Structure 1
Amino acid sequence: MRSPVGYGDFSPSSSAEMIAGSIYMIFNVVIMAWVIGSITLLIVKSDEKTGVYREALQVLNKYASLHGFDKDLTKRLRTQLKLDFDNREVQDEQVLHFFPAGVRRKVLRRLYLPDLLESKLMRGTRQQFVDAFLGACTVEIFSPGEELLQRNSVPTDLYLLLEGKLEVSTQSALDKSVMSSETLDSSVADEDWSTRSGSITGGKRGYVKRGEFINEIGKSASLFEAIWMLLKLRREGFFTESLQMETVRTKTVCKVLTMSKANYRDLANDYPGSAGRLLANLLSKVDDQNNRVSSHINLDVEAVVNPQVRVYNTAAAVQDLIRLYISKQQDDQTTRFCFAASRGDTATITVMCEQGFDPNSSDYDKRTALMVASMKGNVDTVVKLLSYHADPNLTDMHGTSALYEATKNNHEDVASVLIEYGGHLSMSESQAASTLCQAVYEGDILLLKRLICAQIQVNASDYDKRTAAHIAASESNCLALKILVEAGADLNMRDRWGNTAEDEAKRARASAVLGIFGTPLTLRGNEGGRECCTVGHVVDKV
Structure 2
Amino acid sequence: HMTHIDDYSTWDIVKATQYGIYERCRELVEAGYDVRQPDKENVTLLHWAAINNRIDLVKYYISKGAIVDQLGGDLNSTPLHWATRQGHLSMVVQLMKYGADPSLIDGEGCSCIHLAAQFGHTSIVAYLIAKGQDVDMMDQNGMTPLMWAAYRTHSVDPTRLLLTFNVSVNLGDKYHKNTALHWAVLAGNTTVISLLLEAGANVDAQNIKGESALDLAKQRKNVWMINHLQEARQAKGYDN
Picking from 194, 198, 202, the partner of 1:490 is 202
User: 1:118-517, aligned counterparts within 5 Å?
Assistant: 266=30, 268-269=32-33, 272=35, 330-332=37-39, 335-364=44-73, 365-423=75-133, 426-432=138-144, 435=148, 438-439=151-152, 444-446=154-156, 449=159, 452=162, 458=169, 459-461=171-173, 463-470=175-182, 480-487=192-199, 489-501=201-213, 510-517=226-233
Tell me if the contact between 1:473 and 1:513 (Cα under 8 Å) persists in the aligned partners: no
Deviation, 1:359, is 0.8
What residue is the counterpart of 1:171 in the other structure?
none
Distance 2:186 2:49 in 1: 45
Task: Give the unaligned 5+ runs of structure 2.
Answer: 1-26
Describe the superposition over 1:93-146 as per-residue Cα deviations: whole angstroms up to 9, x where unpaired: xxxxxxxxxxxxxxxxxxxxxxxxxxxxxxxxxxxxxxxxxxxxxxxxxxxxxx
Task: Give the unaligned 5+ runs of structure 1.
Answer: 1-262, 273-328, 523-533, 535-542
Shifted more, 351-360 versus 453-462: the winner is 453-462
Deviation, 1:506, is 7.5
Letter of the 1:518 counterpart: Q
Deviation, 1:374, is 2.1
Tell me if the contact between 1:346 and 1:381 (Cα under 8 Å) persists in the aligned partners: yes
Q: 1:420 to 1:512 in 2, by over 3 A?
A: closer
Tell me if the contact between 2:154 and 2:191 (Cα under 8 Å) persists in the aligned partners: no
Deviation, 1:346, is 1.6
Instruction: Please tell me whether Structure 1 or Structure 2 has the larger radius of gyration of its CA atoms.
Output: 1
Higher strand residue share: 1
Tell me if the contact between 1:408 and 1:447 (Cα under 8 Å) persists in the aligned partners: no
Q: 1:330 to 1:497 in 2, by over 3 A?
A: same
Distance 1:463 1:485 in 2: 23
Distance 2:87 2:178 in 1: 33
Distance 1:472 1:409 in 2: 15
Which protein, 1 or 2, shows the higher relative CO under an 8 Å CA cutoff with sep ≥ 6? 2
Q: 1:394 to 1:451 in 2, by over 3 A?
A: farther
Higher helix residue share: 1
- SS of residue paired to 1:452: helix
Q: 1:493 to 1:415 in 2, by over 3 A?
A: closer
Describe the superposition over 1:65-90 as per-residue Cα deviations: whole angstroms up to 9, x where unpaired: xxxxxxxxxxxxxxxxxxxxxxxxxx
Q: 1:455 to 1:348 in 2, by over 3 A?
A: farther
Letter of the 2:90 counterpart: D
Distance 2:167 2:32 in 1: 42
Tell me if the contact between 1:375 and 1:409 (Cα under 8 Å) persists in the aligned partners: yes
Q: 1:467 to 1:389 in 2, by over 3 A?
A: same
Shifted more, 464-473 versus 364-373: the winner is 464-473
Tell me if the contact between 2:181 and 2:196 (Cα under 8 Å) persists in the aligned partners: yes
Describe the superposition over 1:315-360 as per-residue Cα deviations: whole angstroms up to 9, x where unpaired: xxxxxxxxxxxxxx54259621111112222222112223443211
Q: 1:497 to 1:406 in 2, by over 3 A?
A: closer
